[in-house]
Structure 1
């Protein structure tokens, strides 16, 4: 009898051992729920942020390529002016005083440091002088095909990258013809850039050559040969088979994701340099996007690790009493994952641990949402002026046209902005853009939307306005800019063109085109004015303006 009771008690203990306690069951359920919601949130965040980071990297690389191409174009214009000054100086020289020739070339070269060498030749290709002076070269005829082509061209000339016959250097050179007062060709003054040695390109762009995140850039000539690259040994290599290089050779500029010749996925922005027919490509490995994502996800997990551990310990100890707060948190995380919701103001909970956990999780989600909002803001905003960018413009105008909301569009452009950049520098030009953007914002109503469309061009969309009231707004902006004292010691003006939806067009592209045409007419009529398009005759495709 006693033996049977012992066996019965043993069987009950085994059954109780197999059962899961309510605390462990509830704690396990809540723990799994939080883990799953955090996993869904991380996966969703990873997916959405990845595309946003790729798009943002492409835009930044394209903007950098455009900026560098403009700097390169400005640099070569200065180099050609330096050579033109030398050519003008020698036009009446008889080339007999060798000491004078040498000293003059040294002065021109050292005053700018644009070129590694300067060479003066007569009309037959005979080298008359060289800076720095070289007995080996002076008194001999030029031997490179590029130099001979420059002699035959008898005009401004920029060579491709080539290997010199004598010194075996990879160079490119720029030349200017020397024409005397009677219009006769007397010779050539040319400046050489040693592509694989210290040169003006390295001096101007070397500090930007490779960023810490792996982004770098390179320069190619019109045949696809490398003129500038982080790997000096690759200079002179022809990479015309590269997808991006082929587009530059077709006079295209833009941005795209592609796989380079080494099989590495990259994000590239590229731009043509009109003055030299060269191209600039700014490249970022796609891996940097994943590195940034991994860092953000790691920080998110780090921020939530301590609250999650605290959550688990509390649930295991007082699971019954904390079921409601955990369900609340799980539901809230799921709502955040499905769409944007306002985080509620939580009243203090009777349990200190549950209250601390709830507020910590809400803080982590608020931090995560703020970072996401910042990424969205960066993708929709012009970095320099703080105005909406072109992408946002396209979204807004499409939405207003779809909703059949009447509006007027003003396209504004700074008059002779290139002269400001050339005279005062790009940093001053950027400050002018910011100041004018501020004047535009101060001149419109809160429901109106302002954009920086690109370069020195701005766009304003006036909700529920016709072209007549838009004209008044445009004039208010124009006068405000004209009367303002900006960062330069000269008057700055803008021109504006106006069109109206739906009176002038119901197509977003055509409407912008009409306003842009009106802006063009304002420029043609002398600038610093506003022009409103009046009618559109679609039969003979003629526009009427006011």
Structure 2
């Protein structure tokens, strides 16, 4: 019988061992990263769905408050003063982006005034089912979304009753929101409908009809047969992996809007996660294939006494799979070839760790500005609230940034974003954190900082931006909102919403200013 030489036997065993090690490492990394990416995507989508739901809820409450405020100053005697009514409604309609049109009707449904003004409507009774139901209810009213008979566009109606001094119902003031036209809803969510990574969100009403969707042609389509939409209609909220009505495997989170019973669904195609995972595996192969090839060539020359290095390598691979590699305990081997093999594997593991750390860093960093991103913001603010130490949050937004993009192009807009990000970073200490929250919105977390100190920091940033010279021939300003933990709220989500609401107030009061939530409530 032909015998196998020791060199051939050892070489074969080593070659098989190296290939198996590489295979185990790739399979282990693939499995671990897959589960982590899916879980992180679902968690991020759920956070986004909750935040959008809360934003929608705040917007509708603001719309109702706007109408309630106007209703206090309109009296029955004003019904005969057409000029005064027209002026009042024009002021309501033009002072914000809440409504596409505002109308006032008496208790019989007779239209007394409308803005924008349509002479053909004045003096006629309301004909929409929503307006009639609002007048019949004699109370605050938010309609379902419904199509207009002429254009088949989807609209909704918000109404507030008018009462005389004795509390008697005398009419209704209401606003129409055209979901496919420019208004506060499109302004707030239009740029967020679809993200660069393929994620998107859509909003459905209480019947499962699409109100917002990246594909505007689908607005008004009923998608109640969608699994997650069906759960929303059954008052369920959560996150899961599912297949949509187009049979696309997706990762979705869904949450209801309390005020309107609408539902927000934030979706990421599962293929997006697999694309990231495949990229990670290819990078892993790129940075480990050469070291492993060198390892194999070195080991092929070894004929004797190589059992101990392979035991050591096997132990290290097992530790690497468990994330417990301790390179400090590795000692030089007496055999030159075995020692070189061990050092090569250590180098490969170090490279893998560096690339993994880089992926983690990129996942938490905004590519354009270099600041932390929304995902990192969520992690840090949760840590800070659990630690229960005082801190303040500043939410900043570039005023009329869309005008800059439309006028000078997105490249110029990107340069403005990067410049402002640098100015924000230079205005805070190393213990504080700066984030690009999305679009033209930034967030700053100031550790052990009260709202009055945060106000000084925000004003410093605002004035620095205001007095800076940019590459575009256009003035650039920012507005800011501030809230303090735990004085204003002990809940991270609520604290952000309070600062964001203060930012919206700064916008409504003329922009280029800072509003402190606590001061605003005094």
TM range (shorter): 0.5 to 0.7
Instruction: Determine whether 1:158 maps to 2:142.
Output: yes
**107-116 or 51-60, which deviates more:** 51-60
Partner of 1:344: 327
Over 3 Å counting, the alpha-carbon distance change for 1:370 and 1:166 in structure 2 is closer
Partner of 2:68: 84
Matches for 1:32-47 after TM superposition, within 5 Å: 32-47=16-31
Aligned with 2:231 (options 243, 247, 270): 247
Partner of 2:221: 237
Inter-partner Cα distance in structure 2 for 1:214 and 1:373: 20
Instruction: Determine whether 1:332 maps to 2:332.
Output: no
Alpha-carbon distance, 1:192 to partner: 1.1
Unmatched runs of 5 consecutive residues or more in structure 1: 1-14, 390-410, 415-419, 437-485, 496-546
Alpha-carbon distance, 1:157 to partner: 0.9
Inter-partner Cα distance in structure 2 for 1:122 and 1:20: 103
Alpha-carbon distance, 1:304 to partner: 0.2
Matches for 1:490-529 after TM superposition, within 5 Å: 491=487
In the alignment, is the contact (CA less than 8 A) between 2:288 and 2:352 conserved in 1? no
Alpha-carbon distance, 1:138 to partner: 2.8
Inter-partner Cα distance in structure 1 for 2:229 and 2:36: 25
Count residues with an aligned counterpart. Answer: 404
Alpha-carbon distance, 1:222 to partner: 1.5
In the alignment, is the contact (CA less than 8 A) between 1:87 and 1:177 conserved in 2? yes
Inter-partner Cα distance in structure 1 for 2:58 and 2:243: 31
In the alignment, is the contact (CA less than 8 A) between 1:143 and 1:165 conserved in 2? no
Matches for 1:311-322 after TM superposition, within 5 Å: 311-316=295-300, 318-320=301-303
Partner of 1:384: 380
In the alignment, is the contact (CA less than 8 A) between 1:266 and 1:286 conserved in 2? yes
- Residues 254-287 of structure 1: CA deviation (Å, up to 9, x unaligned): 1122211111122111111111221111111122
Instruction: Determine whether 1:191 maps to 2:175.
Output: yes
Alpha-carbon distance, 1:311 to partner: 2.4
Alpha-carbon distance, 1:241 to partner: 2.2
Over 3 Å counting, the alpha-carbon distance change for 1:32 and 1:368 in structure 2 is farther
In the alignment, is the contact (CA less than 8 A) between 1:44 and 1:337 conserved in 2? no
In the alignment, is the contact (CA less than 8 A) between 2:28 and 2:321 conserved in 1? no
Instruction: Determine whether 1:361 maps to 2:344.
Output: no
Alpha-carbon RMSD across the aligned residues, in angstroms, is: 4.2
Inter-partner Cα distance in structure 2 for 1:379 and 1:110: 36
In the alignment, is the contact (CA less than 8 A) between 1:30 and 1:326 conserved in 2? no
Unmatched runs of 5 consecutive residues or more in structure 2: 365-373, 398-436, 450-481, 492-522
Matches for 1:41-190 after TM superposition, within 5 Å: 41-190=25-174
In the alignment, is the contact (CA less than 8 A) between 2:254 and 2:263 conserved in 1? yes
Over 3 Å counting, the alpha-carbon distance change for 1:331 and 1:247 in structure 2 is same
TM value normalised by structure 2:
0.67
Partner of 1:468: none
Inter-partner Cα distance in structure 2 for 1:107 and 1:97: 16
Alpha-carbon distance, 1:235 to partner: 1.2
Over 3 Å counting, the alpha-carbon distance change for 1:220 and 1:489 in structure 2 is closer
TM value normalised by structure 1:
0.64
In the alignment, is the contact (CA less than 8 A) between 1:106 and 1:131 conserved in 2? yes
Secondary structure of the corresponding residue to residue 155 of structure 1: coil
- Residues 149-205 of structure 1: CA deviation (Å, up to 9, x unaligned): 111111111111111234432111211111121222222211111112222211001
Name the larger-Rg structure.
1
Alpha-carbon distance, 1:353 to partner: 5.2
- Residues 447-506 of structure 1: CA deviation (Å, up to 9, x unaligned): xxxxxxxxxxxxxxxxxxxxxxxxxxxxxxxxxxxxxxx9649956879xxxxxxxxxxx
Over 3 Å counting, the alpha-carbon distance change for 1:93 and 1:306 in structure 2 is farther
Alpha-carbon distance, 1:19 to partner: 8.7
- Residues 382-425 of structure 1: CA deviation (Å, up to 9, x unaligned): 61335399xxxxxxxxxxxxxxxxxxxxx9999xxxxx99x999
In the alignment, is the contact (CA less than 8 A) between 1:169 and 1:194 conserved in 2? yes
Secondary structure of the corresponding residue to residue 241 of structure 2: strand
In the alignment, is the contact (CA less than 8 A) between 2:164 and 2:170 conserved in 1? yes
